[in-house]
Chain A
Amino acid sequence: MSKMKELSKGLFKDNPIFVLMLGLCPVLGVSTQVSNAIGMSAGVMFVLLFSNMIISALRKFIPASIHIPAYIVVIASLVSFIQMVMHAFVPAVYASLGVYLPLIVVNCIILGRAEAFASKNTVVDSILDAIGMSVGFALGLTLLATIRELFGSGTITLFPMGSFSGVINIPWFYDNPIRVFSLAPGALLIMGLLKAFFDWNSSRKKDR
């Protein structure tokens, strides 16, 4: 039961984007296309999983006085690794993520989970926590990106596979795009509305 809870808390109850409000820079920056959102989520998932694993395995060896620099070194090395992998295998995604990919280092979710969870719990719990949190992050980011891309340009961009070009045109929306949603103000507006919805939802549950 408690293992299940570690896994599922990141999805809705402690969703990193809409409830904890962590790691907002990449969320707003890359949510212009669904494919970018998926690429970013994959990067965060990898880094969070391994940083939680390594930090919880080393939690008894890292001296308390230098724990933050130690965590940052672990996280930064993982980020450099994922940067090189993405540059080599998915150059298009690497190019469109741009500066936001190295900025995973300062993404509050990763350091936050290392500090708040991995430094105090066992390796298995930390892995479950990382999976739950990163799936919650991926869901939130993909939701935001889907809304923005649907209204902003009427398409859903996935990865090209075989004869499939990777871009799905949504009939009515494609002819009537609301461009502002793809631009910066749209990201902030939709983020505000979604946050209001999540707040409303949790206060409604509390009242009951």
Chain B
Amino acid sequence: MSYIAILLTFIFINNFIFSQFLGMCPFIGVSKNSENAIGMGASVTFVTTVASVITWAIYYFLLVPFKLEYLQTVTFILVIASLVQLLEMVIQKISPALYKALGIYLPLITTNCAVLGIAIINITNGYNVMEAFTGGLAAGLGFTLAIVLMSNIRERLDLHPVRRAFRGVPIAFISASLMSLAFMAFDKSLLTNLHLV
């Protein structure tokens, strides 16, 4: 698959939120205003991209030669947890401004399904390192797109009369459902029509 095909796949066709449901907790929890949503999206994109490359390298240079593939889950989650810690420290040192913007979201990312999800999907799909990098970037961008759209919708919803039982999370789910319906327009045939597969 070409890199453009991978980008299209993870941003639109298999969008992590709207068709795979990975990263649902922050999607519902942090989408109340658009500023936070952009911060969360940027942090997730950063971490999925870096984590994809590092977990790929660990899988193929460490686990495969020693026949330890069954330790995949344990290794990946530990790598992601320490990576997030490390990134937090590095960003704090290098760019205090960026740290101020992203700092509060970073600890939440360790338990974000999207990060471990893309790491495992990269391996399952047998991507090479550049494809894994693209996959990680695209998954993060897809997540950002979804959470930013959602936060704008929720900001508008605050101004509208919604029945009490539906206020907050339920109406957010129903809006997400309608967006997901729209995203169904993107499917595998898009890649075929664009001659990418």
**A residues neighboring B (CB under 8 Å):** 21-22, 24-25, 28-29, 68-69, 72-73, 76-77, 79-80, 83-84, 99, 102-103, 105-108, 111, 180, 183-189, 191-193, 195-197, 199-200, 203
Contacts and interface: CB of A to CB of B under 8 A. Distances in A.
A188 B78 contact: no
Given A106-B110, A187-B177, 20 more contacts: A25-B21, A29-B20, A29-B22, A84-B70, A103-B120, A106-B77, A106-B113, A106-B116, A107-B113, A185-B180, A187-B21, A188-B174, A192-B170, A195-B170, A195-B173, A196-B166, A196-B171, A197-B165, A199-B166, A199-B168
Nearest to B74: A76
Interface residue range, chain B: 35 or more
Nearest to B170: A196
A6 to B, nearest CB: 24
A200 B177 contact: no
A84 B23 CA distance: 25
B28 interface: yes
A102 B77 CA distance: 10
Nearest to A25: B113
15 contacts: A21-B25, A24-B21, A25-B21, A69-B81, A80-B73, A103-B113, A106-B113, A108-B111, A184-B19, A184-B21, A192-B172, A195-B169, A199-B169, A200-B164, A203-B164
